[in-house]
Structure 1
C-alpha cells in the first residue's frame, strides 16, 4: 500500500488478521465462504476454520466443505496453509491428506494468478470454490458426503 507521499506502508500481520476476523464476524463478503478462529483466545491469530458451500454445478453442490487454515508468521506475504477436513477429490488437493496445493489451485482459476500480499483468507476460499466448478472436474467422483480426512 502506498502512502500519500508515495512511500510503501506495510500493514503489520496482526492488523491484517484482526481486520479479517472483524469482517468474518460481521459476515462481510461472500456468504458461501466463511472463516473464523479455531480458538477465540488465539492471540497470534494462526489457526482458522473455514467452510465453503459446495457451488452449483459442481460435484459437491450443496455440501458444506470444512477446512483448516494456518496463517504463519509470513502471512500475508506468504499464502496460508490450507487443508480440507471434508474429503474431496480434486486436482490440487493431496488425496490422502486433504492439503491444498495453493499455487496449483490459484493457477487453475487464472493462468498467471499467484499469491500476493493483498490476498486474504477469503480470497483463497473463493478461489478454491471457483476451482471446484471448472468443467474438467464435473465428472470426478467424490467421496460420500460427510467423509473426512483422518
Structure 2
C-alpha cells in the first residue's frame, strides 16, 4: 500500500526542538501549569542547545510555591539521549548533585528515554520526584539561594 510503512518517521532534531519551543512558549493546552521552558538566548543559539526551565515547587512539600530555575542543555545527542539539567536555584534533593546537576539516572529517566520524549518529560520527572516521600520534607536552603 502506498505511503504506509512499519517504521516510525524520524523527525530531524531541529524540527523536534522547534516544536518543543513552540509548546514551551505558548504553554496553555497540554503543558502542565507548574512547568515552563524556552531557549535561554534565541538570538545567539542557532543549534537550540541552551534552554531554561522553571518548575513551580509542588504543594505540600518544603518547595511549595517556590519558583525553581534550571539550565537545560540539549546536546548533539538530543533527542536520542535526554537533556542535561542543572538547577540554578539551590535545592536539597537526593537526585541533585552538589553543583545543582540533576542525576536523571536515579530518576529512571535516562534508562527509559526514547527519541520521542521531550524536555517537558524530563522536567515532569523532576517535578514528580520532588513529591517522593524522601523529598517532601527535605530541609531546603533559603528561598532565592543560587548555585
SS at match of 1:16: helix
**What aligned pairs does 1:93-108 form with structure 2 within 5 A after superposition?**
93-95=96-98, 97-106=99-108
Contact 1:103–1:115 under 8 Å retained in 2: no
Match of 2:6 in 1: 6
Give 4+ residue runs of structure 1 displaced > 2 Å after superposition: none
Residue 139 of structure 1: CA displacement?
2.4
Give unmatched runs, 5+ long, in structure 1: none
Note if 1:139 corresponds to 2:140.
no
Structure 2 Cα separation of the partners of residues 22 and 130 of structure 1 = 23
Residue 138 of structure 1: CA displacement?
2.1
Q: How many residues align?
A: 142
**What aligned pairs does 1:35-50 form with structure 2 within 5 A after superposition?**
35-41=37-43, 42-50=45-53
Give unmatched runs, 5+ long, in structure 2: none
Match of 2:87 in 1: 84
Note if 1:27 corresponds to 2:27.
yes
Contact 1:58–1:133 under 8 Å retained in 2: yes
Q: Please report the TM-score for the alignment, with normalisation by the length of structure 2.
A: 0.91
Contact 1:68–1:85 under 8 Å retained in 2: yes
Residue range with higher mean Cα deviation, 43-52 or 19-28:
19-28
Match of 1:17 in 2: 17
Q: Please report the TM-score for the alignment, with normalisation by the length of structure 1.
A: 0.89
Note if 1:67 corresponds to 2:65.
no
Root-mean-square deviation over aligned CA pairs: 1.6
Residue 119 of structure 1: CA displacement?
1.1
**What aligned pairs does 1:101-120 form with structure 2 within 5 A after superposition?**
101-106=103-108, 114-120=112-118
Residue 27 of structure 1: CA displacement?
0.9
Match of 1:130 in 2: 128
